Amino acid sequence: MSVWGDLYRGETEFDFVRNRRRFFIISGVLILVSIISLFTRGLDGSVDFTGGAIVEAPNHSGQDVGAYRANLSEIGLAGARVQIRTEPDGSETVVVQTEALAVDMRDQLVAKVAEISGDNPNDLSIEAVGPTFGSEITRRAIEALVIFLLVVALFITWTFEWKMAAAALTALFHDLIITAGVYSIVGFQVTPATVIAILTILGYSLYDTVVVFDKITENVHELGNRHTFTEIANLSMNQVLMRSLNTSLTSLLPIGSLLFVGSYLLGAATLREFALALFIGIAAGTYSSIFVATPLLTEWKETEPQWQRMQRRASRRTSGIQLNEAQVASVKAAEEKRATGATPRAPKRRTKHR
């Protein structure tokens, strides 16, 4: 049987959990690089966040928004916001907003706008403009996010358990930091659309993790009295692997299409910024729900007495009744715990299986 055939039937037997250290190292390095870049290079906020310069000029030549933007990107101002304002008397004014510029860039901007609009550069003035996506919107968005995360954590705790909530949120931060890190490293401008995209990733990452945890919970109920948590986690992930891959594919196809067809082939640079964030974020979201959230959960769960007992039983099954020193120690520790009154949970009730 080929791997693809197994994958198709959900019968793969990849050992995701055994290699978890490797994945943790990969993720850790990515997060570290992202954080370093975020602190040293920072993020490049667009005019919507930082404010900048605004130039207005009578649009004598009658050019459209696209023509202005194309010409402005030639002098490196691809992120400029261009609008045509129709005055009550019917005449047109072109309004160009850019991020804060150095003096020589300001002159270039004025000259360029004047050239396209057919005005005298000396007639145009450049003014400062404040952010539209100002500190108030940012503050409110952050407040909303914090409350959102709290509610989600409570919800997952209530539906599953708190360790799953913690693992899911860890995976979430993993995705957010890496996405923000890519923006910082590549130096793409962060626009309001990017913020939206990052919020989307948040929803997506949680969604993806919840689907995997739902499967684990179900398998624990069915198999929890015969298998170790590691085995169950591995089984669950192999079962949902095809779903994860397919979902990533169907989510990434429209976004990838937006990224490549929209922004590269058709030249709509404005679409690139959020399509990229979504692309990275969703890829990271799929990765983290398999390689971060679940291995992390496994690491935690295996320390629980109930699952440690299961592990001892499993190792007895495989290696005969010979216990190594560590296992003897852990059995002793467990017995001591029992003596002190800390009773381990009774094995889960056997549910029907066929």
Instruction: Give residues 108-147 in contact with other proteins (rule: CB under 8 A).
Output: 127-134, 136-137, 140-141, 143-145, 147
Question: Site for other proteins (CB under 8 A): which residue of 55, 72, 164, 197?
Answer: 197
- In the three-class reduction of DSSP (H, G, I as helix; E, B as strand; rest coil), residue 264 is classed as helix
Q: Does 71 bind other proteins (CB under 8 A)?
A: no
CA distance 194 to 273: 6
| Beta carbon of residue 334, minimum distance to other proteins (angstroms, whole number) | 34
Q: Does 152 bind other proteins (CB under 8 A)?
A: yes
Token pair 């047109």 in the structure block, residue: 92
Question: Site for other proteins (CB under 8 A): which residue of 28, 76, 203, 347?
Answer: 203
Instruction: For other proteins, give the closer residue by CB, 38 or 84.
Output: 84
Give, as ranges, the residues between 213 and 232 that touch other proteins (CB under 8 A). 214-215, 218
**Burial zone of 52 (CB within 10 Å; 0-12 exposed, 13-18 middle, 19+ buried):** buried
Question: Site for other proteins (CB under 8 A): which residue of 87, 104, 341, 346?
Answer: 87
| Beta carbon of residue 195, minimum distance to other proteins (angstroms, whole number) | 7
| Beta carbon of residue 189, minimum distance to other proteins (angstroms, whole number) | 14
b/e sequence 66-81, b meaning 16+ C-beta within 10 Å:
eebbebbeeeebebbb
CA-closest candidate to residue 284, choices 10, 34, 40, 46: 34
Instruction: For other proteins, give the closer residue by CB, 207 or 345.
Output: 207
Question: Site for other proteins (CB under 8 A): which residue of 43, 44, 60, 148?
Answer: 148
Question: Site for other proteins (CB under 8 A): which residue of 176, 258, 283, 293?
Answer: 258
Question: Site for other proteins (CB under 8 A): which residue of 174, 262, 288, 310?
Answer: 262
CA distance 36 to 31: 9
Residue 341, Ramachandran bin (φ over 0: left; ψ between -120 and 50: alpha; else beta): left
Question: Site for other proteins (CB under 8 A): which residue of 28, 42, 62, 66?
Answer: 66
Q: By CB under 8 A, how many residues form the interface with other proteins?
A: 88
**What's the angle, vertex CA 308, arms to CA 209 and CA 314, rounded to 5?**
100
Q: Does 45 bind other proteins (CB under 8 A)?
A: no
Token pair 């009154």 in the structure block, residue: 341
| Beta carbon of residue 337, minimum distance to other proteins (angstroms, whole number) | 34
Q: How many CB atoms lie within 10 A of CB 225?
A: 16
Question: Site for other proteins (CB under 8 A): which residue of 249, 328, 329, 333?
Answer: 249
* Local structure of residue 123 (DSSP, 8 states): G
DSSP string, 143-167: HHHHHHHHHHHHHHHHHS-HHHHHH
> Mask: binding to other proteins, 4-23, rule CB under 8 A, as x and -?
-x--xxxx------------
